Amino acid sequence: MSSDQILVKKPLIFATGSEIRKDIAESHGISCEFIKSEVDEELIKLNFHGNDFDKLAIQLATEKALTISDKNKDYFVVGVDQVCSLDEEILNKPGNKDNAIVSLQKLSGKTHYQNCGMAICKDGKIIWQSSAIAELTMKDLTLDEIQRYLDLDEPYSCSGSYKFEANGKDLFLNVIGSEYTIQGMDIDQLIEAFYREGIIWFMKDFKNKVAVITGAGSGMGRELAIELAKSGANIALAEIDETTLDETAELLKKYNVGVSKHILDVGTGSGCI
């Protein structure tokens, strides 16, 4: 995966209400919308047969993406989900401390799996699916240790009843797999998929270079101008509407880069050199 700055160039939505997954996306430079999908997860799990829990995670992620995609045409929609499994059992989000104690007692001293499922949809169609699995072996925990941990993190809305990104990582003897997989979103796989689908660019160093942006008065043109200005590029704005052109130029002032304005219609021969 490239270490260059990421620029989202196509409309993108993550079908999640998870703050940790939002933080992961934003920390990797992915600027987009986040909309919680109201999919009945328990019904999907109830109707699932077998123990290929990574496939269940993909199904959950896909249903979330499709639900949001049906209402947001022309957007790429990402669904993500995870399934915590111990042997043949799924350990759901506990919801409260008593349930979390039961879950952690089951996991104590044993190896379990966090199955991460991901999907990308557009216009109600699936265009990409994948999964990742992390293997975690928990320490032998006493009831007192479990209660002390729960008082620290209160992980009652977390798969497996722990927050690995906080104090939960201290509960384990051995972990095989990415921390992002454990948190239910393998961001490295997603970024690679975004790049292949043309959803993102990897931006090089644009400092002191000139970027010509057409359709700069609104939408993706304006967003692209802002992102390039943030990276230090000087911006030549082209737009047929003088009012929206001026608005974009005003937005770029705070980035202290050169900005020129050009009123023209690149869709006509007279608007092009």
Q: Round to whole Å and give the CA distance between 142 and 148.
A: 10
Catalytic residue among 81, 144, 153, 265: 81
DSSP one-letter string for 75-110: -EEEEEEEEEEETTEE-----SHHHHHHHHHHHTTS
Strands 76-86 and 12-14: parallel
Contacts 24+ apart (CB under 8 A), 225-229: 225/252, 226/251, 226/252, 226/255, 227/7, 227/31, 227/203, 228/7, 228/203, 229/255, 229/257, 229/259
Q: Round to whole Å and give the CA distance between 213 and 43.
A: 47
Could you tell me the two tokens for 189? 């796989």
Distance of CA 46 to the CA centre of its chain: 26
Instruction: Tell me whether residue 81 is one of the annotated catalytic residues.
Output: yes
Buried b (16+ CB within 10 A) or exposed e, 217-239: beeebbbbbbbbbbbebbbbbbb
* 255 in Cβ contact with 249 (< 8 Å): no
Q: Round to whole Å and give the CA distance between 66 and 207.
A: 39
Strands 125-138 and 172-176: antiparallel
Residues that are catalytic: 81
